């Protein structure tokens, strides 16, 4: 069993719905992700800050109407897409965003 599986997402969804209420809450989630990204900037080696972003992203996905199985499927699909893309040489760009070659 992997950590992020259908049951994990379902438990997170139930807790979030109970704790923060229903609805998309998109603006609030985006705002919260922005704050977490700032905290990562201050403490880039703090795993809990990175995980906060992952949890918020999962929250945004289910609140956008996706079921746990669809979220997992999209994760696998997007990873396969990224693996198949061509990427520029990362050397010299260690602190810059690296986009795939279009």
Distance between CA atoms of residues 48 and 65, nearest Å: 26
Residues 6+ apart with CB under 8 A from 4: 58, 72, 75
* Whole-Å CA distances, 65 to 13, 60, 78, 81: 11, 9, 18, 23
Whole-model pTM: value is: 0.89
In a structure prediction context, what are the per-residue pLDDT tens digits for the chain, which is 102 residues long? 567 899 999 999 999 999 999 999 999 999 999 999 999 999 999 999 999 999 999 999 999 999 999 999 999 999 999 999 999 988 887 788 889 999
């Amino acid at each position: 069993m992997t950590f992020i599986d259908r049951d994990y997402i379902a438990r997170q969804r139930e807790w979030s719905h109970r704790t923060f209420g229903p609805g998309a809450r998109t603006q609030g989630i985006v705002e919260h992700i922005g704050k977490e990204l700032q905290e990562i900037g201050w403490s880039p080696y703090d795993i809990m800050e990175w995980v906060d972003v992952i949890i918020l992203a999962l929250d945004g996905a289910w609140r956008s109407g996706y079921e746990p199985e669809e979220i997992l499927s999209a994760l696998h699909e997007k990873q396969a897409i990224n693996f198949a893309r061509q990427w520029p040489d990362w050397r010299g760009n260690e602190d810059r965003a690296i986009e795939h070659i279009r």
